């Protein structure tokens, strides 16, 4: 039995061969770890670059948002001013119509008075200076 037990035990050369295989495996693992570390550095650098881009985008978005808010405020102000101008124009148009009516009334009263008091007929499209000359 002693002889069979010797056969089951590995020899020094077997142990060395096994250690060399383990060393090769460890070297492969070390290479893999270095590759992973390299990838990790690349991912970290990418993450930093992405943060920079994100910060720039955030800053740009805030600037644009501020500009949009200012433009909206200006548009609102212009809308208010436009509405005020529209009302003033409508008021001026009403005043113009009223003044035309008043002028027509005064002209017709003048023509009526000329006929009643002076028997002076007024011609159509007669200049005011001519009417005044006839009335004297």
Q: What is the mean pLDDT of residues 47-68?
A: 96
Closest CA to 90 of 82, 78, 102, 100: 82
Q: What is the pLDDT of residue 63?
A: 96
pLDDT in tens, 2-32: 444 556 888 999 999 999 999 999 999 999 9
CA distance 129 to 5: 149
Given a cut of 60, whether residue 64 has pLDDT beyond it is yes
Query: Distance of alpha carbon 32 from its chain centroid, rounded?
Result: 50
Distance CA 76, CA 84 (A): 12
In sequence order, the 6+-apart residues with CB closer than 8 A to the CB of 118 are 135
Residue 133's pLDDT is what? 74
pTM for this entry: 0.47
Percent of the residues in the chain that have a pLDDT greater than 90, as a whole number: 69
């Amino acid at each position: 039995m002693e002889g069979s037990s010797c056969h089951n035990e590995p020899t020094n050369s077997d142990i060395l061969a096994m250690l060399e295989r383990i060393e090769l495996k460890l070297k492969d693992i070390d290479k893999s770890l270095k590759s992973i570390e390299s990838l990790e550095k690349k991912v970290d650098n990418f993450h930093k670059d992405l943060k920079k881009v994100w910060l720039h985008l955030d800053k740009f978005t805030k600037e644009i948002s501020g500009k949009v808010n200012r433009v909206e405020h200006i548009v609102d102000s212009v809308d208010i001013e436009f509405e005020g101008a529209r009302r003033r124009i409508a008021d001026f148009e009403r005043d113009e119509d009223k003044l035309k009516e008043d002028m027509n009334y005064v002209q017709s009263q003048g023509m009526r008075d000329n006929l009643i008091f002076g028997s002076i007929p007024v011609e159509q499209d007669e200049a005011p200076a001519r009417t005044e000359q006839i009335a004297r």
